[in-house]
Every structure is written in structure tokens, then in C-alpha cells.
Structure 1
Amino acid sequence: MIEIERKFLLKSTSFKDIAQKKTKISQGYLNSNPERAVRVRIKGEKGFITIKGRSNDSGTSRFEWEKEIDIKEAQALLQLCEKGVIQKTRYEVTVGDHMYEIDEFYGENEGLIVAEIELSDEHEKFQKPDWLGKEVTGDSKFYNSQLSKHPFRNW
């Protein structure tokens, strides 16, 4: 239940040419406190509720618990969320032995594209494709919970 990931900006959108999957996502926060964020998400035709704890000092790992819920429940819970529901498309791209999840944001976060890669430990080696840009792991302004309050458009 510990999530280990690194996060990057992108240099280009060429990843779209090799994406194996893309899914629309709507997500909101019942609680966006960094100590215990509670997220509601609709991903495609499925609903989820997720609790995330505070990140470690490097920003690479934190507690994460997620459970699939009925989509109608997720839709109802989204109505209770804090202001700033996030809309994005998630692309899944395999590079070497790893899957990159790349989020292209819309609405107030239009123009932001962020790639995440989950790892089995903080020092695991992975391939960095040409379209991968600056690393932003640990920069809290790129956390979805913060993008919901302080959108990219206002930076």
C-alpha cells in the first residue's frame, strides 16, 4: 500500500503515437489535506475512492489505498467534492519494463501534461524516452490535489 512513483513534464506529445490505451478521468477531492487526501475518481466507466498519505521527503513514496466503488456512488460523491474537479485524459505507454501513465489536463489545467512511472523501489532504474522532460517528483504544485485548488492556468 506504499506507492512509489516519479513524475515528469513532457517535451512533446509524440507519446500519443505509441499509447496502448487512453481513458477519460474526472476526479475531485473530499479532502485535499496533504496529510490524508481523499479522492473520488471516475475512470472510464468505473468509480474509485482513494486515500493518500503525506509523501516522504523526496516525494517519491506515500501511503495509498484505493477501492473500486459503484459508478453511481462515485458520481454522487463528486457532487460533494471541494471546488476544482479535475478533467484529464490518461494515456498508458509501455517503455521497456515499465508503464508510464501520462495525464493531459483540460479545463483550468489546460496545457499541462505530466507523466508518472510507478516503481518497486525509489532507486529502481528505468528507461527515459525522448519525450520525457524535467522531473517534478516531490514538487507539490503538480499533485492533483493542489492542481484542483491552484490550477495550472493561474501560474
Structure 2
Amino acid sequence: MEHLEIERKFLVLSDAYKTAARQKDRLVQGYLNTHPERTVRVRIMNDKAFITVKGPTNDAGTSRFEWEMNIPVEEATNLIDLCETGILEKYRYRVPVGNHIFEVDEFLGENKGLVVAEIELQHEDEKFTKPEWLGEEVTGNKAYYNSALTKKPFSQW
């Protein structure tokens, strides 16, 4: 499945999102390729697995091409063994706010302490409700890209 991914990313000020969360998943992901023009990610989420190819982001850091396909978990596990150094582990909370769903990632391991929220939009200037736990916007800040966190984890900042 391919589409243009339009999203904004924010730091999270408190754990108040947890009480509003409708779903919590555990994710493990690695990158087969982290070139700025294309990233290839392997992700295991609970009992499902995916391979994803993402193109370069636009200048604002809000949108880019994305292609994703389900793959067997066993194959994803084998591919993660081939990934570049720095496997990410995190909990993802799905939090409804207004007409949107925020995905809040609570990172584990070397990125423990980092919590970010992403919202996917239909168009770049779409309006959305900002909950009280939403902090500074970090959209376009490459240090917060998951692929960057595998190379320079939050604990090293």
C-alpha cells in the first residue's frame, strides 16, 4: 500500500495521554537502509510485521512517500538481524483527540525518557485539537526521526 504520509510530530509534556489511550502496542523496529533519499524499515508490532519504504521528506518535514506491506513475523525477525546498528523498541499509544488519533511513542532502551506524539493529517494545513499534554513541535527536526534515533539515541544527547 502506498500513499503520501503527512504528519506532524510533538514532544509530550506529561503522561496524561495514557488515561485517554484506546490501544497500547509494543514495537520493535530496525532499518535496512537509512539513506536520506529512502529508508527501509522492518517493524514487528505485537503479532504482526511490516516492511516499509519511505522517500525523502519535503522541506517542511511534514510529508513524504510511504509504501508498506505486511510480512510474516518470522521473516521480519530474520530481517531485523540484518538491520543497521540500533534497533528501536517502544510502546505506542493510540489516543483519540477530537477528530484525529495521536500516536504517542514512549521509547525504551537507549531512547528511554523520550516521548513523542505524531498526528497524521489529510493535508498540511489541516486544523486539529491540541491536547494539554502536547508540547513543543519537532516536525522536521531530524534528530527526532526514528532512523536518526538508531544512530544517536536520546541517552547520548
What is the TM-score normalised by the length of structure 2?
A: 0.98
Alignment of 1:132-143 (within 5 A): 132-143=134-145
User: Alpha-carbon deviations, 1:23-81, whole Å to 9, x = none?
Assistant: 00000000011110000000110010000111000000001111000010001100000
Identity percentage of aligned residues: 59
Give 2:36's aligned amino acid: P
Q: Distance in 2 between matches of 1:18 and 1:5?
A: 21
After TM superposition, which residue ranges in structure 1, 4 or more long, deviate above 2 angstroms?
A: none
Secondary structure of 1:145 counterpart:
helix
- The equivalent residue for 1:16 is 18
Q: Could you list the runs of 5+ residues in structure 1 that have no partner in the other structure? A: none
Secondary structure of 1:148 counterpart:
helix
Shift of 1:122: 0.1
Aligned partner (choices 39, 42, 66) of residue 68 of structure 2: 66
Root-mean-square deviation (CA), in Å?
0.4
- The equivalent residue for 1:118 is 120
1:41 aligns with 2:29: no
Q: Distance in 2 between matches of 1:154 and 1:11?
A: 20
The count of residues paired between Structure 1 and Structure 2 equals 155
What is the TM-score normalised by the length of structure 1?
A: 0.99
Give 2:60's aligned amino acid: S
Shift of 1:8: 0.1
- The equivalent residue for 1:75 is 77
